[in-house]
Amino acid sequence: MRDQINLSIKNLIDKLLGWLDVLVVNLPNIVLAIFVFFIAYFLAKYLSTRTTKLISKRIKQVSIRSLIGSTITIVIVSFGFILALSILNLDQALNSLIAGAGVAGLAIGLAIQGTLSNTFAGISLSLKNDINIDDFIETNGFSGTVVEINLRDTKIRTVDNNLVVIPNNTISNNPYKNYSLTKDLRVVVESGVGYESDLRKVAEVARNAVTDVFPYRKDEVEFYYLSYGDSAINFQLRFWIQATDKFALIRARSTAIILIKESFDKESINIPFPIRTIITKND
């Protein structure tokens, strides 16, 4: 029994001495690997911080900036870790790790395909600068002011103060209108006047009615007669305003209708009611 214990202790000491020899032989590589890994870690933190600051003016969404910074950190740290394993001559472990990461990445990618699609769509929307916070947009049957763009969805606040959450992928793959991309909006008003009206005077009165209140680009106010209607000659008036949301357009159209009606009343220009004439044949 004592001999067996002594033999076990001797084998253990031999094993420890062998490990010590390996440690001493590989000590320079171990120190170098640790040094490389820490260099990669601090370099990743520095580049992540610098990149986040550089893109802060272009990308206003904090979540998107954080994602880009985290991605840079993960890539550089992973590269440093792989380089450290290579320095330690752990090629077999490195190959197994890369193979396992590839399989795991494929499985995770398939499982979160929808989430990844929305994430990349959110990044794309932020980089293209087509939609920003406080922009007034129309998309997927909703219209309102953008209040948040995150990695998964975009939140817009409608005029009735409801918050609508729309997946980024849905916005990216469908048409949308952003009223805030331009400060010039064209207002279109349609109406009609009686057949007895002086058409040249009607055009002049309608133009003057809107240019007095909406002088912006007043030389580009357009007036067109469209058709002979059942009870009126139909016309269209178009003028410009400076605005960045849809409801400024609606307010301007409403004001223009009031102004045109008041001006027509002063000039005794008739906007007729719909009229239907019935002709009967007597025996």
Residue 29 sits in the same domain as residue 102: yes
Residue 107 sits in the same domain as residue 138: no
Domain-embedded: residue 283? no
Distance CA 205, CA 162 (A): 41
Residue 244 sits in the same domain as residue 154: no
pTM: predicted TM-score of the whole model, two decimal places: 0.53
Q: Please write the tens of the pLDDT for every residue from 174-232.
A: 888 887 777 888 899 999 999 899 999 999 999 999 988 888 888 889 999 999 988 89
Q: Regarding predicted confidence, which is higher, 109 or 175?
A: 175
Residue 171 sits in the same domain as residue 236: no
Q: Please write the tens of the pLDDT for every residue from 246-266.
A: 778 888 999 999 999 999 999
19 pLDDT band, cuts 50/70/90, is low
Asked if 233 contacts 199 with a C-beta cutoff of 8 angstroms, the reply is yes
Question: Average pLDDT of 23-39?
Answer: 70
Q: Regarding predicted confidence, which is higher, 51 or 127?
A: 51
Residue 220 sits in the same domain as residue 137: no
Domain-embedded: residue 278? no
For residue 27, the model assigns a pLDDT of 61
pLDDT of residue 272 exceeding 90, the answer is no
Tokens of 19: 């490990």
Residue 95 sits in the same domain as residue 137: no
5 pLDDT band, cuts 50/70/90, is low
Q: Regarding predicted confidence, which is higher, 119 or 199?
A: 199
Q: Regarding predicted confidence, which is higher, 109 or 50?
A: 50
Domain containing residue 45: CATH number: 1.10.287
Which residue's entry shows tokens 């076990």?
8
For residue 162, the model assigns a pLDDT of 86
Torsion of CA 63, 64, 65, 71, to 10 degrees: 110
Domain containing residue 214: CATH number: 3.30.70.100
Please write down the HEC assignment for all residues of 117-136.
HHHHHHHHHHHHCCCCCCCE
Domain-embedded: residue 166? yes
- Last residue of some domain: 145, 180, 215? 180
Domain count, the chain: 3
For residue 35, the model assigns a pLDDT of 79
Q: Which residues contact 115 (CB under 8 A, 6 or more apart)?
A: 152
Domain containing residue 147: CATH number: 2.30.30.60
pLDDT of residue 26 exceeding 90, the answer is no
Residue 194 sits in the same domain as residue 139: no
Asked if 152 contacts 115 with a C-beta cutoff of 8 angstroms, the reply is yes
Domain hosting residue 22, numbered range = 2-111
Asked if 238 contacts 212 with a C-beta cutoff of 8 angstroms, the reply is no
Domain-embedded: residue 282? no
- Last residue of some domain: 143, 162, 180? 180
For residue 149, the model assigns a pLDDT of 78
Q: What percent of the chain has pLDDT over 70?
A: 69
